[in-house]
Amino acid sequence: MSRYLQCGKYRLDLSVPHVMGILNATPDSFSDGGQYNTLDASLSRAEAMLEAGASILDVGGESTRPGAQSVTPQQELDRVAPLVEALVTRFDCIVSVDTSTPQVMTETAVLGAGLLNDVRSLQREGALQAAAQTGLPVCLMHMRGEPQTMQNAPHYADVAVEVAQFLQHRIDACVAAGIGRKQILLDPGFGFAKNLKHNFELFQRMPELHALGLPLLVGVSRKSMIGQVLDKPVDERLYGSLALAVMALERGAKIIRVHDVVQTMDALKLFQAVQAGWREH
């Protein structure tokens, strides 16, 4: 596994774990829909996440929550492009774009985006070619179907094996399209086409995915797998999110995608202190 991920002009050191802050430019995101969909509000939110220690900001213009409505490429671009441009201009940070749309990939890359994060693993028509054209690293996530239908009775004979097989297939497709292995991240896709049992079995067996030889990005922040166990609404899932974040780090995740950067950074620092064996200097 490569130690570094080249994200445009930035080099991300994967020998240490990182926090990716979620910045939704959507009116219907499951957790914070509409809360940051003005440019000023988004920039203020971004500044706070970077000050708290986020290494990457992940900008999305299409909600992928279960049952989410689709948007046109132009609608998505209109939401995302001005924000990416403003972030790149104002802040010294890696901006990731959470998109499956080829046009959004190429146009935000020109604006200075450093990473493409695709829940559909570059399966939309033209997406592989667009991603390869940008030269940017990509994050491939496991999902079956589309957000509108993905939770309709998902079934697996062996969830960890099937997720690994899917991701290997997409890695091969990327390499064939000209995207180097060193430029690929993998996301198990918690909450996407998986029921509660699938999610927790996959989480338990996450170390098996290291056999693919690529860094893992994990996003479980505020998700329904937490709410179902704790019987808590979205805005009361912080402690559950932190627990799973630390367990993901223990299982080898390199990037944790979260809403609550301040609190997750505290958890990450304690994880690192334990890993290193804390010594006063």
Which CATH number does the domain housing residue 144 bear?
A: 3.20.20.20
Burial 124-161 (b: 16+ CB within 10 A, else e): beebbebbbebebbbbbbbbbeebeebbeebebeebbe
Of 109-113, 142-146, 234-238, where does mean pLDDT reach its minimum?
142-146
What are the pLDDT digits (tens) for 67-107?
Answer: 677 899 999 999 999 999 999 999 999 999 999 999 999 99
Residues 267, 245 contacting (CB under 8 angstroms): yes
pLDDT band per the 50, 70, 90 thresholds, residue 150: low
Residues 104, 123 contacting (CB under 8 angstroms): no
Residues 280, 273 contacting (CB under 8 angstroms): no
Of 75-89, 98-112, 147-161, 162-176, where does mean pLDDT reach its minimum?
147-161
pLDDT of residue 63: 84
**Is residue 152 in some structural domain?**
yes
Mean pLDDT of 170-176: 98
**Is residue 216 in some structural domain?**
yes
**Is residue 46 in some structural domain?**
yes
**Is residue 231 in some structural domain?**
yes
Burial 213-232 (b: 16+ CB within 10 A, else e): ebbbbbbbbbbbbbeeeeee
> Is the confidence at residue 52, as pLDDT, over 60?
yes
Residues 6+ apart with CB under 8 A from 130: 102, 103, 105, 106
**Is residue 103 in some structural domain?**
yes
What are the pLDDT digits (tens) for 231-273?
Answer: 999 999 999 999 999 999 999 999 999 999 999 999 999 999 9
**Is residue 281 in some structural domain?**
no
**Is residue 75 in some structural domain?**
yes
pLDDT band per the 50, 70, 90 thresholds, residue 33: very low
The three-state secondary structure class of 70 is coil
The three-state secondary structure class of 254 is coil
**Is residue 161 in some structural domain?**
yes
pLDDT band per the 50, 70, 90 thresholds, residue 30: very low
Catalytic positions are 223, 257
Work out how many domains the chain is built from and give that number. 1
pLDDT of residue 169: 98
Domain residues for 149?
Answer: 4-276
Strand duo 94-98 + 115-118: pairing: parallel
